[in-house]
Structure 1
Amino acid sequence: MLTPLESMLHHINSNHKILSVAPMMDWTDRHCRYFLRLFNPHVRLYTEMVTTGALIHGGRHRFLCFDAIEHPVALQVGGSDSQELAQCAQFAEQYGYDEVNLNVGCPSDRVQKNKIGACLMAEPELVADCISAMQAAVRIPVTIKHRIGIDDLQDYENLYRFVETVAQTGCQEFIVHARIALLQGLSPKENREIPPLRYADVYQLKQDFPQLTIHINGGIKTLNEIVEHWEQVDGVMIGREAYHNPYILAQALALWGEDIPSPHQILQRFLPFIEQELTAGVPLMQMSRHILGLFQGMAGARKWRQHLSSYAYQKHRGIELIEEAASFVEDRQRTPYESTTTATTI
């Protein structure tokens, strides 16, 4: 007898559907992305948002370097100057990224002052100019991530006009966070939680623009939810659930009919990379912070987190500390149906 998940998958071809991990500021750095890739080879990964100013005037290599294991991986950029964005798209192509994505969803006050992020939803023509310039500069796909609306521009008609205007450039992929952003009065965290999710608006976009690749983002936490959304749109992007409970990415291998490794097996794959980075002078804390959620929901997970958090800051510590912490957790495989966190996505 088919499980509910298997029943939903029966008429969906997973090879034609997309699963991705959202760009998350201060989280999806190269160490985090390497770790997440070990769970699932099919998932698309995204960098943290990097502003055009940081790439043009800052330490470019620090922002752009990544390991080949991360493919497929996309660079997300923030900005509103078309020529600067075109230049940064070229950087992405030169460094070997598979995609460059324009951020039109971040609600932070800091980025609004520089005309970056969700505030650009009020200026679809400017966004279209930026996308056009980026497309003219590179051969890799140029995509966009945005909200369903902002402030007074909350209705579906405004969302439709925004997508229609940008799509006229030839842009094919739209990643849509199914919440509005309130740019005054709410913090970025509150903007991830307080505005209600409106998945139906994203579904309607797919119906109105069937030729476009539409991804949905926001509040997605389980494999069942992923498959339910796949029935309506082309791709699903998960955010904080993938960070706090990264094993969901391994459990998602069931959607491709593949074997699921145990959390301990994934950790063993990550240790050589940690050793390599330690040799290069990277502090252990810079990597260990990304793996705290590996055993989420399992017996011993709290001791695992406590041990790492208590001692990883010590300069003499290496992978032996991680192995010590892992010894507190039973080595077993969680089923694809276990969901253990209440984290929210961006």
Structure 2
Amino acid sequence: MEHLLKVDQLKVNFNTYGGEVKAVRDVSFHVDQGEIVAIVGESGSGKSVTVQSIMGLIPSPPGMIKGGSIQFEGKDLLTLSKRQMRKIKGSKIGMIFQDPMTSLNPTMKVGKQIAEALITHRNFSKANAKNKAVEMLKLVGIPNPEARFQQYPHEYSGGMRQRAMIAIALACSPDLLIADEPTTALDVTIQAQVLELMKELQKKMNTAIILITHDLGVVAETAQRVLVMYGGVVVESASVMELFENPRHPYTWGLLQSIPDTDTSEKKRLVPIAGSPPDLFSPPKGCPFAPRCKYAMDICLEEMPTDYDISDGHTAKCWLNDERAPHPETFARLGETENA
């Protein structure tokens, strides 16, 4: 079956006064129709740059896509002109940005911002666009949508602004929705409501979703598959169930240790990952996580590991999974020890 989206060996660099930042290095993954795929990792791991590349939002200069391909519905997005990409953005691919207050136009009424997408991409008349915009506001759970249509973003609460962003992104019924940390600025209650709303709309519209987050708790509640990124590289990829039950990369173990256990009354200290992220001006030639990994071997510092197939659909870029590693049967159980 052909994938809805297929990213292959994507490389993205940025020219800065300090040198060239290698932000994304040989990233490959796919998304199928109706699927929710999460991309997790700490700040600076390359998550947002990856999805911005899909949307054609990498500013050039200073950004440069140095290699790879992004196939969407059989077309390589990197070969399209700006005009061709404008037809796809908002129509075929929608995006929810991290901060709705800076993403919404403060000088334009919210309803008009939703209607604008319909007029531009679906050739709606102004009257039909208004009716559809009101319908979208109601769909995302905004009360009294007719009145809210006439209001400006500053008259909305934080949660309502995020819902409005979802309405704009979904107005043209895109095949793919990219949500870049859509709940970061929201309180816990509103966060749960927004995530539940996204899942409901995904089921109703069969829209595929790429969810960018640093919260594995959100991943467990929302996604079917997950990519773990570190230092501009996908270090592990698996179904959500497989990743939580059988993590096979030390960085993933570290992320899992940072999740509070709410199922027990026993107090457990959350263990931070010691050390600092890699310098992407001059990325390490070996595994990017090796300097912070207490299980690192000499080869980890010298050579980038390949993707090891752990099981169907589960890969980990870690030398510990190599049969030549010392005591591989012990290393295979390290994840269980780390998260015990």
Q: 1 or 2, which has the higher strand percentage?
A: 2
Task: Report the TM-score when normalising by structure 1.
Answer: 0.40
Task: Report the TM-score when normalising by structure 2.
Answer: 0.40
Larger-Rg structure: 2
Q: 1 or 2, which has the higher helix percentage?
A: 1
